[in-house]
Amino acid sequence: MKRNPAAWAFVLPALTVIGLFFVVPVLAGLALSLTDFDLYALASLDNLRFVGLDNYRQVLTRPLFWQALGNTAYFVVLGVPLSIMLSLGCAVLLQSKLARFKPLFRTALFAPVVTTLVAVAVVWRYLFHMRYGWINQLLGHVGIAPIDWLGDPQWAMPAIIVFAAWKNFGGNMIIFIAALQAVPEDLYEAARLDGANAWRQFWHVTLPMLGPTLLMVSILTIAGYFQLFAEPYVMTQGGPLQSTVSVLYLMYEEGFRWWNLGAASAVAFVLFAIIVVVTRGLMLFAQRKGAA
Amino acid sequence: MKGRTVQAIAVNGVLAIAALLTVAPLLWMVAASLMRSGEASSFPPPLLPSAPTLDHYRALIVQGGIVRQFVNSLGLAIAATLLSTTFNTLAGYAFAKLHFSGRDQLFAALIGALVIPGQVAMLPLFLMLKSMGLVNSYAGVLVPSLASIFGIFLVRQYARGIPDELIEAARMDGAGEFRIFFSVVLPLLTPVLATLAVFAFLGSWNDFMWPLIVLTDGELHTLPVALASLSREHVQDSELMMAGAVITVLPVLALFLVLQRYYLQGLTMGGVKQ
Amino acid sequence: MTGQSPSPPERRRWLQRAALVAAMPLAGCGRSSSGRRTLRFWAMGREGEVAHELLAGFRAEQPQIDLRIEQLPWTAAHEKLLTAFAGDATPDVAQIGNTWLPEMVALGAVEPLDTWLHSSPTIAPEDYFSGIWRTNLVDGKLQGLPWYVDTRLLYVRSDLLAKAGFNRMPDTWAGWQQAMLGLQGLGIAHPQLLPLNEFEPLLALALQQDDELLRDGGRRGNFTSPGFERALGFYLQMFERGFAPSLTNNQVSNLWQEFGRGQFALYISGPWNLGEFRRRLGPEQQGLWTTAPLPGPNGPGASIAGGSSLVMFRRSRARREAWALIEYLSRPEVQQHFYRLTGNLPPRRASWSADSLGRDPQALAFAQQLERVRPTPAVPEWERIAQEMQLFAARAAHDKSDPAGVARALDVRVDEFLAKRRWMLDRARPAR
Q: How many domains does chain C have?
A: 2
Calculate the alpha carbon distances from C13 to A14, C7, C8, C10, C27 in Å.
18, 10, 8, 5, 21
| Structural domain ending residue among the three candidates C354, C370, C386 | C370
In a domain, C281, yes or no: yes
- Residue B1 has a pLDDT of 57
Task: Give the model confidence (pLDDT) of C55-82 as tens digits.
Answer: 999 999 999 999 999 988 888 899 889 9
Output the domain CATH number for residue C209: 3.40.190.10
**Interchain proximity A10–B224, CB inside 8 Å:** no
In a domain, C132, yes or no: yes
Question: CB-CB: which of C82, C391, C420 is closest to A36?
Answer: C420
Q: Which residue has the higher pLDDT, A156 or A187?
A: A156
- Residue C429 has a pLDDT of 63
Residue C27 has pLDDT above 60, yes or no: no
Cα of B205 to nearest chain A Cα, Å: 8
Contacts of B229 in chain C (CB under 8 A): 72-73, 76
In a domain, A278, yes or no: yes
Output the domain CATH number for residue A234: 1.10.3720.10
Residues across chain B: 274
State chain C's mean pLDDT as an integer: 85
Question: CB-CB: which of B227, B238, B263 is closest to A118?
Answer: B227
In a domain, A23, yes or no: no
In a domain, C347, yes or no: yes
Q: Same domain for C173 and C208?
A: yes
Contacts of A171 in chain B (CB under 8 A): 267
| Structural domain ending residue among the three candidates C347, C370, C393 | C370
- Residue C430 has a pLDDT of 54
Chain C, 11-30: which have a CB under 8 Å from a chain A CB? 11, 14, 18
**H or E segment to which residue B252 belongs:** helix B238-271
In a domain, A225, yes or no: yes
Q: Are C1 and B174 in contact (CB under 8 A)?
A: yes
Chain C contact present for B45, CB below 8 A: no
**Interchain proximity A265–B124, CB inside 8 Å:** yes
Task: Give the model confidence (pLDDT) of A39-65 as tens digits.
Answer: 888 888 888 999 999 999 999 999 899
Mutate to test the interface with C, among B87, B136, B184, B215 (most CBs of C within 10 A): B136
Cα of C256 to nearest chain A Cα, Å: 16
Strand C153-157 vs strand C145-150: parallel, antiparallel, or unpaired?
unpaired
In a domain, A95, yes or no: yes
Q: Same domain for C104 and C145?
A: yes
The domains located in chain B, with CATH, are: 56-271 (1.10.3720.10)
In a domain, C3, yes or no: no
Amino acid at B144: P
In a domain, C400, yes or no: yes
Contacts of B223 in chain A (CB under 8 A): 116, 119
In a domain, A279, yes or no: yes
Q: Same domain for C288 and C202?
A: yes
**Interchain proximity A234–B231, CB inside 8 Å:** yes
Domain that holds residue C345: 34-150+305-370
- Residue C4 has a pLDDT of 37
Q: Same domain for C411 and C318?
A: no
- Residue C428 has a pLDDT of 74
**Interchain proximity C251–A257, CB inside 8 Å:** no
Average pLDDT over residues A251-274: 91
Q: Same domain for C286 and C173?
A: yes
**Interchain proximity A6–B176, CB inside 8 Å:** yes
Chain B contact present for A272, CB below 8 A: yes
Task: Give the model confidence (pLDDT) of C76-127 as tens digits.
Answer: 899 889 988 888 889 999 999 988 998 899 888 999 999 999 888 888 888 8
In a domain, A8, yes or no: no
In a domain, A29, yes or no: no
pTM of the model: 0.84
Q: Same domain for C104 and C218?
A: no
Minimal Cα distance from A58: which residue of C?
C416
Question: CB-CB: which of A10, A24, A229 is closest to B90?
Answer: A10
Question: CB-CB: which of A4, A42, A150 is closest to C107?
Answer: A42
Chain A contact present for C257, CB below 8 A: no
In a domain, C16, yes or no: no
Mutate to test the interface with B, among A3, A11, A26, A183 (most CBs of B within 10 A): A11
| Residue from B210, B111, B97 nearest B158 by CA | B97
Question: CB-CB: which of A10, A166, A275 is closest to B98?
Answer: A10
Q: Same domain for C299 and C309?
A: no
Minimal Cα distance from A270: which residue of B?
B120
- Residue C1 has a pLDDT of 32
Chain A, 146-165: which have a CB under 8 Å from a chain B CB? none
Calculate the alpha carbon distances from A270 to A225, A264, B203, C91, C417 in Å.
16, 10, 26, 35, 21
pLDDT band for position C19 (cuts 50, 70, 90): very low
Q: Same domain for C397 and C259?
A: yes
Dihedral pair phi/psi, residue A44, rounded to 5° = -155, 130
Q: Same domain for C42 and C158?
A: no
Q: Could you give the percent of chain C with pLDDT greater than 90? A: 52
| Residue from C286, C15, C270, C260 nearest C155 by CA | C270
Residue A285 has pLDDT above 90, yes or no: no
Each of the 274 residues of chain B gets a pLDDT tens digit; together they read 567 788 888 889 999 999 999 999 999 999 989 988 877 777 777 888 888 889 899 988 888 789 999 999 999 999 999 999 999 999 999 999 888 888 999 999 998 888 787 878 888 999 899 889 898 899 999 999 999 898 998 899 888 888 888 888 888 888 888 888 888 888 888 888 888 898 899 999 999 889 988 998 888 999 999 888 887 777 678 888 899 999 999 998 888 888 887 777 777 766 544 3
**Interchain proximity A174–B42, CB inside 8 Å:** no
Neighbours of C298 (CB within 10 A): 11
Separation of alpha carbons A165 and A157, rounded Å: 12
Cα of A154 to nearest chain B Cα, Å: 23
| Structural domain ending residue among the three candidates C321, C336, C370 | C370
Calculate the alpha carbon distances from C6 to B47, B168, B183, C3, C12 in Å.
63, 16, 14, 9, 10
| Residue from B223, B225, B255 nearest B67 by CA | B223
Chain B contact present for C255, CB below 8 A: yes
Cα of C136 to nearest chain A Cα, Å: 20
Domain that holds residue A179: 43-291
Minimal Cα distance from C399: which residue of A?
A241
Calculate the alpha carbon distances from B59 to B53, B69, B87, B230 in Å.
11, 14, 40, 13
In a domain, C396, yes or no: yes
- Residue C7 has a pLDDT of 39
Task: Give the model confidence (pLDDT) of C329-386 as tens digits.
Answer: 999 889 989 988 887 888 887 777 766 677 788 888 888 888 788 888 888 899 999 9
Helices (H), C87-199: 101-107, 114-118, 130-135, 158-163, 173-185
Residue C8 has pLDDT above 70, yes or no: no
Question: CB-CB: which of C18, C83, C380 is closest to A256?
Answer: C83
pLDDT band for position C14 (cuts 50, 70, 90): very low
Q: Same domain for C229 and C189?
A: yes
- Residue A202 has a pLDDT of 84
Q: Same domain for C193 and C130?
A: no
**Interchain proximity A39–C253, CB inside 8 Å:** no
Strand C93-97 vs strand C37-44: parallel, antiparallel, or unpaired?
parallel
**Interchain proximity C86–B213, CB inside 8 Å:** no
Chain C contact present for B83, CB below 8 A: yes
- Residue C355 has a pLDDT of 62
Lowest mean pLDDT among A86-95, B146-155, B185-194, C252-261: C252-261
Q: How many domains does chain A have?
A: 1
Contacts across the A-B interface (CB distance below 8 Å): 281
Average pLDDT over residues C206-216: 93
Minimal Cα distance from C84: which residue of B?
B216
In a domain, A35, yes or no: no
Q: Same domain for C142 and C249?
A: no
**Interchain proximity A175–B268, CB inside 8 Å:** yes
**Interchain proximity B122–A22, CB inside 8 Å:** no
